[in-house]
Amino acid sequence: MISREFVGESPAITEVRKLMRRVAHSRALAVLIYGETGTGKGLVAEKVHEQSSRARKPFIDVNCASIPGDLFDQELFGQEKGAFTSAILRNNGLINAANGGTLFLDEIPELNHRAQTKLLGLLDRQRFRRTGSVNDVEVDVRFICATNRILFQEVKDGKFRNDLYFRLQVVAINIPPLRERGDDCLVLTEHFIKKFNRRYDRTVKGWEPAIAEIFRDFNWPGNVRELENLLERIFVLETDDRILVKQIPPRIMRELEDGTGAPKAVADGNFANKSFQDATSEFQISIIQNALTRSSGKLTVAAEILGLSRHALRHQMNKLHMR
């Protein structure tokens, strides 16, 4: 399998890379990845596995939302032959298949409470019991779980076990959205142009200057995946040897024109007569206030929205003289 690249040069992504490396080399058996849809949670999980001592062992990718709740136990933990009417063969389960390696559980909040309980026990003891068996199976598996939701809110709503949440929260990697990664949108554009030149046997060479401004200003709600899909669409439908403004979908241009393609604080703000320091402080205050509003004033939840620890958020609020 060809290894995919984790592309980006922004300070935020440089920090994520450092954290990935530390986690990969650690003995942590549970890792939690936070990130909006399209930020590359699965890719980060793959890279943590590839950089670890488990790299030569299996990497099993499971989308929790794709498996019906009543089948999840069987798929994950397996079952013995004869455990129920249709169990004509023994199924060792995905956990057993990942033994020695990594099991990536994407969309972890989709697990039902029974599966959450069994997963918690497995994380604590590194052993489990197949359906229909009286014997425990011992395994050595690193669990990497991912979500695009605020997991603490899922706990408050009674949808996710608080003890499993705290068990997973020990080692967390927060992937920033593309809109917070500066010129990474252009670094990624260059990367995807090379990729699609190879795939479609083309010779596209860069973009016209206005494209850089459009890509920097757009909010990218679908993040890296949206950018990649846009560029592939251009490669498929257009014949020009550069990325041109005329190729950009009208939806994106409309959002930029009415300000919805950029973060609201930037679209609405009037920073023309302010110093860089004052404008930056106002922008940070606006973002934090927005997160506090969304979290009903709960500091821990607001920190999760912003991809910060509670301590880091409190420190930043003190710096900005926010109470």
Distance CA 17, CA 23 (A): 10
pLDDT in tens, 146-155: 999 988 889 9
Which of 220, 208, 217, 212 is CA-nearest to residue 187?
A: 212
Residue with the bigger pLDDT between 93 and 167: it is 167
pLDDT in tens, 264-289: 444 445 555 566 666 677 777 878 87
Please state, for a pLDDT cut of 90, what percent of the chain lies above it. 54
pTM of the model: 0.76
Q: Is the pLDDT of residue 89 over 70?
A: no
Distance CA 152, CA 119 (A): 18
Q: Which domains does the chain have, with CATH numbers?
A: 11-174 (3.40.50.300), 181-262 (1.10.8.60), 265-319 (1.10.10)
- When pLDDT is cut at 50, 70 and 90, the band that residue 52 belongs to is very high
pLDDT in tens, 160-185: 999 999 999 889 999 999 999 999 99
Residues ≥6 apart with Cβ < 8 Å to 36: 148, 175, 177, 223
What's the pLDDT score for residue 267?
Answer: 47
What's the pLDDT score for residue 289?
Answer: 78
Cβ atoms within 10 Å of 69's Cβ, excluding its own: 13
pLDDT in tens, 299-318: 887 777 777 777 778 878 87
